[in-house]
């Protein structure tokens, strides 16, 4: 690893101590330089062009590519403020950043989710994925969760450290509550306040959680991402008739437009709205 990257990681830890931004930016930067095989001073606009093409060819969404570009852009801003002769920033926003798209969330069918849960081998795995599925937690929020954030009295709830360093309350379903109890009863005793620990007794990383899911998916023949659990939670709540504003609060969305994607994803909601409108039309015609 280039020493500048480690310095940048330390700077991010100070700037975003509880935000998932530092985790994503650090991961994105390591990924970029691992792909480029060049030093920061050797990166130019053409290398960035090639990286964008590589990301597109491997099926990454525009939002993911733009986040990686933002991480690279911030890295060179950091170098410009800390070095006497910093390299030129190779990221040109108008040239490199891709137009934003608003695709529907990718949820998971309920029968597919049942297959995955049937292969969970231990209380830690079950608690992690129950919280994602029944509480709508992001993978970074699972990583950030500490023992002091858990309140299992009535009503059982979590204090969630969310995206953009925003906090919200997430309510815990009976299934997730039981899974949490099972995990906490066998959780190793350690000074680390994290709810979920690695085998070394330290806070389980985002990459570690993603690795666990890939391991399980290898057994089931599925190809799922951690964020699809959150999408499935949103779809289920929309199907159950939850108002879009309430769902926005539970998911911690800054924009209502983001939450509305789950309403469009819900076939039951769409059908009910269609039938209501069509009945009104028919009444007028009759």
- Catalytic residue numbers, as ranges: 138, 163, 227, 230, 253, 262
Q: Which residues contact 9 (CB under 8 A, 6 or more apart)?
A: 22, 26
SS3 state at 37: coil
Q: How many CA atoms lie within 13 A of 112 on its CB side?
A: 12
Helix (H, G, I), strand (E, B) or coil at 16: coil
**Calpha distance 188→183 (Å, rounded):** 10
What is the Cα–Cα distance from 129 to 115, expressed in whole angstroms? Answer: 13
Closest CA to 97 of 71, 59, 79, 75: 71
Handedness of CA 25, 26, 29, 34 (dihedral sign): negative
Q: In angstroms, how far is CA 182 from the centroid of its own chain?
A: 25
């Amino acid at each position: 690893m280039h020493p500048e990257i480690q310095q940048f990681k330390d700077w991010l830890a100070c700037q975003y101590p509880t935000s998932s931004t530092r985790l994503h930016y650090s991961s994105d930067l390591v990924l970029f330089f691992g792909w480029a095989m060049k030093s920061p001073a050797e990166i130019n606009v053409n290398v960035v062009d090639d990286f964008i093409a590589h990301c597109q060819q491997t099926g990454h969404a525009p939002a993911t590519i733009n986040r990686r570009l933002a991480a690279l852009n911030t890295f060179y801003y950091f170098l410009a403020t800390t070095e006497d002769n910093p390299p030129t920033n190779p990221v040109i926003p108008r040239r490199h950043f891709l137009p934003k798209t608003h695709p529907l969330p990718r949820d998971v069918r309920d029968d597919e989710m049942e297959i995955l849960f049937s292969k969970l081998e231990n209380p830690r795995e079950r608690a992690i994925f129950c919280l994602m599925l029944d509480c709508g937690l992001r993978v970074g929020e699972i990583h950030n969760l500490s023992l002091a954030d858990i309140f299992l009295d009535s009503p059982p709830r979590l204090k969630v450290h969310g995206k953009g360093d925003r906090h919200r309350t997430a309510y815990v379903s009976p299934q997730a509550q039981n899974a949490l109890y099972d995990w906490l009863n066998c959780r190793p005793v350690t000074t680390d306040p994290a709810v979920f620990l690695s085998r070394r007794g330290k806070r389980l990383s985002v990459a570690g959680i993603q690795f666990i899911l890939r391991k399980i998916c290898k057994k089931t023949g599925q190809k799922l991402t951690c964020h699809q659990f959150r999408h499935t939670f949103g779809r289920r709540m929309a199907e159950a008739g939850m108002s879009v504003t309430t769902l926005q609060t539970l998911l911690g969305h800054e924009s209502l437009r983001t939450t509305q994607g789950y309403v469009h994803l819900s076939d039951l909601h769409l059908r009910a709205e269609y039938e209501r409108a069509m009945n009104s039309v028919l009444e007028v015609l009759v």
